[in-house]
Structure formats: C-alpha cells, structure tokens
Amino acid sequence: MLDYFYGPQADLFSFYRLPKALFVNPRFRDISSESKILYGLLLDRMGLSAKNGWTDDTGRVYIILSPSPKNGHKTG
C-alpha cells in the first residue's frame, strides 16, 4: 500500500459522479446507459467550469467543449 501519491498517481482514484436517481427512478428508465454516462461526464466538466468561474450574466455555469479528435470527434 502506498503512503503517499506522487504526480500522476493522484488520479488513480478519481471518478465520475452519476446520480443514483438516473438508475432507480422510473422516470429515467428509458434513457440509455450511454446517455447516463454522458450526463456524468458533463456534470464533471460543469464542476470544473464552476471552479474556474465560467458563468454567464445570470450566474449559470457553462461548459466549453470544442469538437476535436481528443474529444472523440473526427476531423476532415
């Protein structure tokens, strides 16, 4: 067992939050698992945006996500 985490090791136990309601509430029964995972990924990005102070004039947090090969988009 490690006593300390060094550099990239700190990310070994990072995780995405997925609200339990998406899996137990009948209202969300027809939503695909992939969509629920995407929601968790976007929720994670929203937390980063909030931390960076990315809000509009009304205080709503926004996400900037540009299409790129790194984000799973094909170019050309």
Task: For residue range 36-54, list pLDDT tens digits in order.
Answer: 999 999 999 999 999 999 9
Q: What is the pLDDT of residue 15?
A: 85
Domain interval for residue 53: 14-67
The answer as to whether 73 is a domain residue is no
Residues of the chain with pLDDT under 70: 1-2, 68-76
Residue 28 lies in a domain: yes
1 lies in a domain?
no
Give the per-residue pLDDT at 74: 59
* pLDDT value, residue 67: 75
Q: Is residue 8 part of a domain?
A: no
Distances (CA, A) of 20 to 33, 34, 40, 48, 52: 12, 15, 11, 21, 26
pLDDT of residue 4: 80
What pLDDT sits at residue 2?
A: 57
